[in-house]
């Protein structure tokens, strides 16, 4: 760990994970830490938010110095540490934050506002900060941003504003089907078959109405034709992402590349899916976007 003083701490606190970064005065990353104490682990257990945070960032604290923690994500939901407001889209990145109640004298915790949209109804918590980071790096950015995850977001950004967005249950549905439906008997726990994935993306785009039937066919093919578990897993992913893309492409006629922000592995899956459809994409690492976004909130 660097000897440069820690000026502030960035926290990306989602449903599943808590990720923290020790930041310098010039917004350089001095250290990283991560735990599985996402919002759902805390609300379903007996833990509390402050304890989970302090446990992770303890090595970074110095008594007598109150370090600001800039946080975003589901930690600001109604079930989170403290409810942060929603900005109303269309909107420029907001610097609105709420201060979370703390016992410790070593930290001061700010949670960023989420964004809501009224027609159609939609909400985000965390992704607005990644988009704020994108706009901090590229103020004149214009285009479509895809943020893959448990609840994948597609956002239209232009003129310095988040104009419109749309959330898909794709990631959560994949996990439920892979782990808890009858398909669990058929799918491998991991592994990847890209040609099988891309074929399934294509099939889903050609026939989005057949999703519930093609999903079951994976089970039948396993019973009758010994379908390989990795191929089955890749095809399920392709059917779901293809279904999502068939809706996105319906409304998007842009020839501009799609901007992907998210974890490396998930972004790569979307990149090859889009590429197979003749759509180029550019990638911004999750960390770059989130840190730039959390830094803007500190101005």
Interface positions with its own copies (CB under 8 A): 78, 86, 116-118, 120-123, 151, 166-170, 172-173, 176-177, 180-182, 207-213, 215-217, 219-221, 223-225, 240, 243-244, 246-247, 250
Question: Is residue 188 a contact partner of residue 233, using CB atoms and an 8 Å limit?
Answer: yes
Residues 6 or more apart in contact with residue 149 via CB below 8 angstroms: 14, 171, 262, 263, 266
Closer Cβ to its own copies, 246 or 259, answer by number: 246
| Distance in Å, CB of 238 to its own copies, minimum | 14
Q: How far is the CB of 160 from its own copies (least distance, A)?
A: 24
**For its own copies, which is the closer residue by CB, 51 or 166?**
166
Nearer to its own copies, 50 or 122 (CB): 122
What are the start-end ranges of the E strands in the chain? 8-13, 18-23, 29-35, 67-72, 86-88, 97-99, 107-112, 114-118, 121-124, 143-147, 152-158, 161-168, 258-262, 281-285
Cis peptide preceding 43, ω within 30 of 0: no
Nearer to its own copies, 212 or 264 (CB): 212
Kindly state the DSSP code that residue 91 receives in the 8-state scheme. Answer: B
Q: Cβ closer to its own copies: 31 or 122?
A: 122
| Other residues' Cβ atoms within 10 Å of the Cβ of residue 49 | 23
Report the nearest approach of its own copies to the CB of residue 107 (Å).
28
| Residue with smaller CB distance to its own copies, 46 or 225 | 225
Smallest gap, in angstroms, from Cβ of residue 217 to its own copies?
A: 5
Q: CA-CA distance, 140 to 135, in Å (whole number)?
A: 7
CB 6 to its own copies: min, Å: 35
Count CB-CB contacts under 10 A for residue 191: 13
Q: Which helix (H) or strand (E) holds 76?
A: none
User: Please, what is the minimum distance in Å from the beta carbon of residue 66 to its own copies?
Assistant: 33
């Amino acid at each position: 760990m660097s000897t440069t003083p820690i000026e502030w701490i960035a926290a990306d606190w989602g449903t599943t994970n808590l990720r923290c970064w020790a930041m310098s005065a010039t917004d350089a990353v001095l250290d990283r830490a991560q735990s599985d104490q996402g919002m759902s682990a805390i609300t379903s257990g007996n833990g509390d938010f402050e304890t989970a945070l302090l446990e992770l960032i303890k090595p970074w604290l110095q008594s007598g110095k109150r370090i600001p923690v800039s946080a975003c994500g589901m930690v600001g939901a109604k079930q989170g540490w403290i409810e942060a407001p929603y900005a109303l889209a269309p909107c420029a990145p907001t610097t609105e934050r709420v201060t979370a109640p703390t016992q410790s004298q070593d930290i001061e915790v700010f949670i960023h506002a989420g964004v809501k949209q009224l027609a159609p109804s939609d909400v985000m918590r965390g992704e607005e900060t990644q988009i704020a980071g994108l706009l901090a790096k590229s103020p004149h950015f214009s285009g479509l941003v895809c943020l893959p995850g448990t609840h994948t977001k597609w956002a239209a950004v232009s003129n310095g504003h988040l104009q419109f967005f749309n959330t898909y249950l794709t990631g959560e549905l994949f996990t439920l089907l892979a782990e808890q439906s009858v398909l669990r008997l058929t799918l491998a726990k991991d592994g990847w078959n890209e040609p099988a994935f891309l074929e399934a993306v294509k099939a889903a785009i050609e026939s989005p109405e057949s999703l519930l039937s093609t999903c079951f066919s994976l089970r039948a093919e396993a019973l009758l034709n010994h379908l390989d578990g990795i191929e089955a897993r890749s095809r399920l992913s392709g059917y779901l992402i293809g279904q999502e893309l068939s809706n996105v492409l319906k409304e998007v006629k842009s020839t501009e590349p799609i901007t992907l922000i998210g974890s490396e592995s998930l972004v790569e899956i979307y990149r090859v899916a889009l590429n197979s459809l003749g759509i180029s994409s550019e990638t911004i690492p999750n960390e770059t976007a989130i840190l730039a976004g959390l830094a803007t909130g500190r101005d």
